Structure 1
């Protein structure tokens, strides 16, 4: 045990709304830190793109003992931290970690024929994706932008997630012109 805590930033390579970051990562991490008296969460935040889309989130942590850092990383990976996430601390190089891959599906919200928007439902797309990726990943968050709606999927494999939803993207009218982007 050291006399002063180790301050670090957990930079999550995840496009999560703040409430989803709390639910999926901060609350479980806070519970572990508190119950084992390892330290505490001292802050956090969300970085946004120019369009207001989440780019990444961070969690500020003070650890009572630097030796507990590997356990913190292990927990974050068990919780599904995406590849490309980083532990950042003063005087040390960034330490990459993460195990899941991310897929962002962007539904076109402005350029499809009016009847597509009148007859189709984004909730149907959400439900169908949840069914199709069961056992391979999950939808962890979403974003409503000025011209697109994004669903953020995370799982063991981007390619598997993409393959699971390919038939939906090819057949459902609301998925016309959708973009698929690897996020982690």
Structure 2
């Protein structure tokens, strides 16, 4: 008789933690969070309540987290979140945690291009521009991948590229890397995959 007297029960909230195996600067993670927030709002799933980065000893980002306070943690809601990430950034080795349940996910592979910032002749640093490297990489990769973030260290600048397959991205970039002066003595590292 009194079960509806006080209205509907407040939905139980759940905490969802997404750990992306992605080296994203906080500003780039925030861009992803903003886009994910729109999906969460549209699907009535919840809202972003936090995020952070795990750092290497040298200050480079190892991985990053996005935290969600969810009012809907159903399989369908989790599916919406994972589908969004699949279509934006979903590096292999990523995981979603809800309670004690961990869901591994990831389709994209990562390529780190570490440009030598100290050992090249001065005229190369004066006459070459990292922005030109960035633009050329984006052009060469087409739909195979794109730069999602970067790192400016004491001796290197890294561009973090995520896409379908590391080897395909590397082969598309290799002729440019081998010929552009600023790419001399660079390192190419598989960062997800």
> TM-score, structure 1 length as denominator?
0.92
Shift of 1:2: 8.3
CA distance in 2, matches of 1:65, 1:121: 47
CA distance in 2, matches of 1:146, 1:55: 17
Instruction: Specify the alignment match of 1:29 in structure 2.
Output: 36
Conserved 8 A contact 1:2-1:65: no
**Aligned with residue 159 of structure 2, among 141, 151, 161:** 151
Three-state SS of the structure 2 residue aligned to 1:117 is helix
For the structure 1 residues 60 and 96, does the alpha-carbon distance in structure 2 shift closer, same or farther, using more than 3 Å as the test? same
**Aligned with residue 19 of structure 1, among 7, 27, 32:** 27
Is 1:114 aligned to residue 122 of structure 2? yes
The alignment covers a number of residue pairs equal to: 182
Report which stretch shifted further, 126-135 or 2-11: 2-11
Q: Max radius of gyration: which structure? A: 2
What is the root-mean-square deviation of aligned Cα atoms in Å? 1.6
Is 1:45 aligned to residue 85 of structure 2? no
Three-state SS of the structure 2 residue aligned to 1:66 is coil
CA distance in 2, matches of 1:49, 1:80: 21
CA distance in 1, matches of 2:30, 2:90: 13
Instruction: Specify the alignment match of 1:83 in structure 2.
Output: 92
Query: Where do 5+ consecutive residues of structure 2 fail to align?
Result: 1-8
Is 1:66 aligned to residue 73 of structure 2? yes
Conserved 8 A contact 2:44-2:72: no
**Aligned with residue 172 of structure 1, among 155, 160, 180:** 180
Query: Where do 5+ consecutive residues of structure 1 fail to align?
Result: none
4+ residue stretches of structure 1 with deviation over 3 A? Answer: none
CA distance in 2, matches of 1:91, 1:172: 49
Three-state SS of the structure 1 residue aligned to 2:143 is coil
Three-state SS of the structure 2 residue aligned to 1:50 is coil
Report which stretch shifted further, 61-70 or 163-172: 61-70
CA distance in 2, matches of 1:169, 1:101: 19
